[in-house]
Structure 1
Amino acid sequence: MKINKLVPFSLALLAGVAVACGGGGEASSEATAEAPAAAPAKEISLEEKYQDDPIYIKGLEKVKGSDCTSCHMVERKIVGPSYADVAAKYENTEENVTMLATKVIAGGVGNWGEVPMPAHPGLSEEDAKDMIRYVLLLKK
């Protein structure tokens, strides 16, 4: 006898949940009749943006062959600043490329906090400049 009372109650509860969740009614059919909302534009990563640029390709190859990635990432700070932060701070000029390449080779401390950047005396000036040109492309 208790089961007979439980079945109608369960059906009523199930119907109530379906209506509360939007299951049924004309409102849902009207929503599908309207034009679909525009999909949000896909944000392109800096890496995707420059993947075909020869400066990007050459610099990335040299960065990956070095120890730069132990302290730097493209869009996120780890030990040192992100490449995007460096690009935001320095305009992409030959003067800045030379100055930053010199800093990479000599090392230093103070421009980005108290964590020192080690010197890279084995790095040629031209390789350092290629790396810096790559980094300065990565402006957001």
Structure 2
Amino acid sequence: MISRVLCSTALVLATGSAFAQAADPGAKLAQQKNCMACHALDTKIVGPAYQDVAKKYAAQKGAAAMLATKIIKGGSGAWGAIPMPPQVVSEAEAGQLAAWILKQKK
């Protein structure tokens, strides 16, 4: 009985977290722009996990602008041999995505 309650509680917490993440405009934009095809919050897929990106850059001055530029222009070498191609986003969208990515620091 206790294990069933604990499992149910864990499911509710995980689901609540997923809903909170999905409600965030940055998360919605990342889904809409297909960013999640190559990136995940906490796991490397093709590109680095967003939590790792945030951990690496969050304390750097100008990090949001630098990431927004990388989103627009693409980049290579910072996370390995696989380059990130330029993304089809506006400057405002790139800024919103960069700000959201930096908030993912755990």
What is the match of residue 124 of structure 1? Answer: 90
- Structure 1 Cα separation of the partners of residues 101 and 58 of structure 2: 11
The Cα shift of 1:92 comes to 5.7
Q: What percent identity do the matched residue pairs reach? A: 38
Q: Say yes or no: does 1:81 pair with 2:48.
A: yes
Partners in 2 of 1:125 and 1:74 — Cα distance? 22
Q: Deviations over 1:104-134 (max 9, x none)?
A: 10001100001000111x3111101111111
Equivalent residue, structure 2, for 1:97 = 64
Structure 1: runs of 5+ lacking an equivalent: 1-38
Which residue of the partner structure matches residue 27 of structure 2?
Answer: 60
* Residue 66 to residue 88, structure 1, CA distance change in 2 (3 Å): same
Structure 1 residues 127 and 101: alpha-carbon distance in aligned structure 2, compared to 1, 3 A threshold: same
After TM superposition, list the pairs within 5 Å mapping 1:1-140 onto structure 2: 48=17, 51=20, 57-91=24-58, 95-120=62-87, 122-140=88-106
Q: Name the larger-Rg structure.
A: 1
Count residues with an aligned counterpart: 94
Contact 1:92 1:133 in 2 (8 A): no
- Rate the CA distance shift 1:62–1:94 in 2: closer, same or farther, 3 A: farther
| Unmatched segments (≥5 aa) in structure 2 | 1-5
| Offset at residue 64 of structure 1 (A) | 0.6
**Could you state the TM-score of these two structures normalised by the residue count of structure 1?**
0.59
Separation in structure 2 between the aligned mates of residue 60 and residue 134 of structure 1, nearest angstrom: 7
- Cα RMSD of the aligned pairs, angstroms, is 2.6
- Structure number with greater CO (CA < 8 Å, separation at least 6) is 2
Q: 1:48 offset after TM fit, Å?
A: 2.4
